Structure 1
Amino acid sequence: MKAFIFQPSFGAGVILNSFMEGFVYQTGVEDVDKLLQRGGISGMFTVITLVILVFSLSEILQRTVVISVILGKMGSFVDTQAKLILTTIFSCFLTNMLSASQYVAIMIPGEMFRSAYEGLNISKRVLSRTLEDAGTITTFVIPWSSGAIFASGVLGVSTLAYLPYAFFALLSPLIAAIYALTGFAIFKEDEEDEE
């Protein structure tokens, strides 16, 4: 819409074509031309199709309660705060691998372990942080997940090609595990009530 208003010199045909096929403009500088000659719906069709398939698979796994059964078995031996947080980290990563969706990877473990966090008097902030560290962030390192498919499509490289440089995605679960083992920044629920 903005192109129709602010760039009327291109014309409706060019604007609609760039929407489908991507924008093409020659500046004479090869690197700039590569940046400008990308986009369009057809360029992202493979990524969009894979994301739709990933969400379909995750919905099937969620509705058939496959993931909940697996996580329920894992949660049965949790009796300390370190075990609970480490189990949450592993559950998020496993759910991310099975469902290929970061949303499912934070929703299901979050619901499954919320009462265990309350039972051990661990703050909901710790649960939220752990879900983020292990569920949301790790989606970019699992090649078949929606986040990794999107990142690969945008960057134009495979997940394994950018994996060694994904420091945040690799270090976040590790730091969460260190917090769990040392007890550092593991806030208690009753401490929040006093604030």
Structure 2
Amino acid sequence: MSISRQPSFLAALILMLIIFVIFFVGIGVLNYSVEFILISVTIITGFFAKHYKVSWKEILTAFVGKIKDAVPAMLILLAIGMLIGCWMISGTIPLMVYYGLEVINPAYLYLTAFLVTVCISTFTGTSWGSAGTIGVALVAVAAAIDVSLPITAGAVISGAYFGDKLSPLSDTTNMAALAAGADLYESIRNMLYTSVPAFIVACIGFYFVGMDLNAGGNVQSDTIFIMKDVLNKLFWLNPLLITPALLVFVGAIKKWDTIIVLVASSFMALFISAVFQSFTMSDLTSAAVNGFNTKMIAYFSDISMNEATLNNINVLLNRGGIYSMVSPIVVMLCAFMFASALDVSGGLNVILNSLIKKLNSVTSTILATMFTSSLLVGCTGNAVISFFLVKNMYDPCFKNNKLHMVNMSRAMESGATLLEGLFPWTISGMFMAKTLGVNTLDYCPWVFFNISCFLFAIVFAFLPKWSNFGTRYEIIEER
């Protein structure tokens, strides 16, 4: 067996620059699929490793090791996909949307837009889904009563990313915890240190910018009425439909096994659907595996609605199922393959050995993790890719500083997830701008939650100099 040799710093730096350019051009500029780009850079990194006497078998061995550690997280993703499909067909998520539309007060549109979207995104785990459904309705309300569309869009996006960052159903929340090697619920609890004060700042901000609204309390958009009416006709909405969500909430508090809780909630939702909704057993199983579809509702085509409402209803309801998580898992597998090739090539280690010498404090380590995540998501347009790259880069620094990996998860979410929709050239930025009809640079100043949460994360990075509050260590030492 050949003995591998270490690449030089210059060779390692050239490799990282090539990878950086491929990510930036391939994903950020040309909009190529993430999977294709990851496979491409894996091949390049593999040839680089081969040049330094690393065999393909060693790359596969490293890959298998990473997959073994990731299996529990993959099972959670599959369980979440099933959960969303079951919650849809039971009417649990439609009920949440209905209540959200119920509490909208046009006189306080900005604040209610934020709070309603927070609720929907937290219970659905998707920023795109909440912005593309409730968000569209809220912007339509803002246009109808002639108030600022950029501020309304900022409120919607703020609420959407609250759930995208904290919901146990969110793929980015799961991926950040997975990449960092942290427990999902521990990661979520640790992010509350920055998210709760940011939530309060956002509420205050949207309240004060909305004080001059001239909308009267009785002003209401037909969009809200139509959406509520259609949801009420499609499902038998009653308070008992919320019980599957309560089970997940109790399970999180009691720290029950995540997969068991998610599966139990899914079957509870299917039972509720069989009792309260008019679906066949075939529909129930299909919703769990393939996702819910409005075509399962026999009288769907008989309900009168305009094209815009039809699109909103389909975007909102047609989701979930085990197979809906295949794409994130494929991205994860490709990312692991690339990370394995990068690990065994030695290129990253050479650069890290130089970097670690400078990152000798908790503050510098967390700040470097945050800003590197921001840089990578700005270049690649994808938060998930940045998670796995950042993990490989800064894992030794966190271990040297005895930092618990929930700190890495929070730093990555703060630097990547929160800013993903604020770059005009990223997929999320383009989606938000196109869906809500407001330019990215116009709504950016009004995304109060994202901005304040990012700033609070910086504050908590400096806080360990004076206090351990909000920073968790693997080994608690007297400081």
State the TM-score, normalizing by the size of structure 1.
Answer: 0.66
2:119 is the counterpart of 1:94: yes
Gaps of 5+ in 1: 22-39
Please, what TM-score do these two structures have when normalized by structure 2? 0.31
**How much has 1:94 moved relative to structure 2?**
2.0
Structure 2: distance between partners of 1:47 and 1:71: 28
CA 1:127–1:153 in 2, change beyond 3 Å: closer, same or farther? same
Tell me if structure 1 keeps the 8 A contact 2:105–2:112. Answer: no
Pair 1:153–1:73, CA change in 2 (3 A): closer
Q: How does 1:72-91 map to 2 (within 5 A)?
A: 72-82=98-108, 84-91=109-116
Deviations 1:125-171 (A, max 9, x none): 22332222222134333345433322322333344456345555334
Per-residue deviation, 1:60: 4.5
2:208 is matched with 182
User: Which letter maps to 2:128?
Assistant: Y
Alpha-carbon distance in 2 for matches of 1:78, 1:58: 24
> Match for residue 53 of structure 1?
79
- Decide whether the 8 Å contact of 1:58 with 1:101 is kept in 2: no
2:45 maps to amino acid: A
Q: Which residue of 2 aligns with 1:7?
A: 49
Structure ID, larger Rg: 2
d(CA) in 2 for partners of 1:59 and 1:128? 28
- Partner of 1:170 in structure 2? 196
Matching residue of 2:174: 149
Alpha-carbon separation, structure 1, partners of 2:139 and 2:61? 49
Name the aligned partner's letter for residue 6 of structure 1. F
Counterpart check, 1:17 vs 2:78: no
State the AA in 2 paired with 1:58: I
Contact 1:137 1:168 survives alignment (8 Å):
no
Contact 1:117 1:127 in 2 (8 A): yes
Aligned length: 171
- Write the letter of the residue equivalent to 2:182: V
Distance in 1, matches of 2:182 and 2:210, equals 37
- The question of whether the paired residues in 1 share the 8 Å contact of 2:131 and 2:157 is answered with yes
Name the CA shift for 1:101/1:80 in 2 (closer, same or farther; >3 Å): closer
CA gap 1:186/1:58 in 2 versus in 1, 3 angstroms: farther
1:181 Cα deviation after fit? 1.3
Residues 108 and 48 of structure 1: is their aligned pair in 2 closer, same or farther, counting only changes over 3 Å?
farther
Name the CA distance, whole Å, in 2 between partners of 1:43 and 1:186: 53
Asked whether the 8 Å contact 1:54–1:101 carries over to 2, the reply is: no
d(CA) in 2 for partners of 1:4, 1:157: 28
1:28 equivalent in structure 2: none
Q: Cα deviation per residue 1:54-97 (whole Å; 9 max; x = unaligned)?
A: 23433444566643443334434534342x23332222222233
CA distance in 2, matches of 1:186, 1:47: 47
Gaps of 5+ in 2: 1-42, 214-437, 439-479
Structure 1 residues 180 and 115 mapped into 2: Cα distance closer, same or farther (>3 Å)? same
Task: Using the TM superposition, give the Cα deviation of residue 115 of structure 1 relative to its aligned residue in structure 2, in angstroms.
Answer: 1.8
Q: CA RMSD in A?
A: 3.5
After superposition, residues 102-181 of structure 1 pair within 5 angstroms as 102-158=127-183, 159-160=185-186, 163-164=189-190, 168-181=194-207
How far apart, CA to CA, are the structure 2 residues paired with 1:186 and 1:53?
Answer: 45
Q: Match for 2:46: what amino acid?
A: F
The change in CA–CA distance for 1:136 and 1:92 in structure 2 (over 3 A counts) is same
The higher relative CO (CA closer than 8 Å, separation ≥ 6) is in 2
